[in-house]
Every structure is written in C-alpha cells, then in structure tokens.
Amino acid sequence: MQITPYTRMVFYHETDRMDIVNHSNYIHMTEEARVDFMGKIGVGYQEMENQGLMLPVLGVSCTYKNSLHFGEHL
C-alpha cells in the first residue's frame, strides 16, 4: 500500500505578524496529519469511535527545525 503525504496550505490565521506559523499551531497540524493518515489506511476516526475504540494522545513533544509561513504548503 502506498500512502500519499498529507499536504495543505498554511492559513493566515495560523501566523503571527511576521507571517510565521505560531508554535502552538504545529501541534494542530500534526493532529490533522494523524487523522488523514488513519483515513488513508482505512481506519476512519468516526467509524472507530462508533465501535467504542479510542486513541487518545497522552503526550506530545515537538522540536522546531524550520518555520512555515503564510501561503506555503506543508
């Protein structure tokens, strides 16, 4: 199975006055990518929860290597 990467544009509301993504938004983007990945492998979140299965995030850590800017694609 070949999984395509998660991509999307950086929105203006996710940035600060320098057009750089605010640090807290990277965690939201990671969650979006996680849900996208689950759907691509055939494990939709809504279906999973309807079956009584939960996958809570118990912790998160992030190392910032580069900045994203308004209008860029990740």
Catalytic (active-site) positions: 16
Q: How many CB atoms lie within 10 A of CB 10?
A: 19
The residue type at 6: Y
Beta bridge partners, 15, equal 21
Q: Could you give the count of Cα atoms lying within 13 Å of 36 in the half-sphere of its Cβ?
A: 12
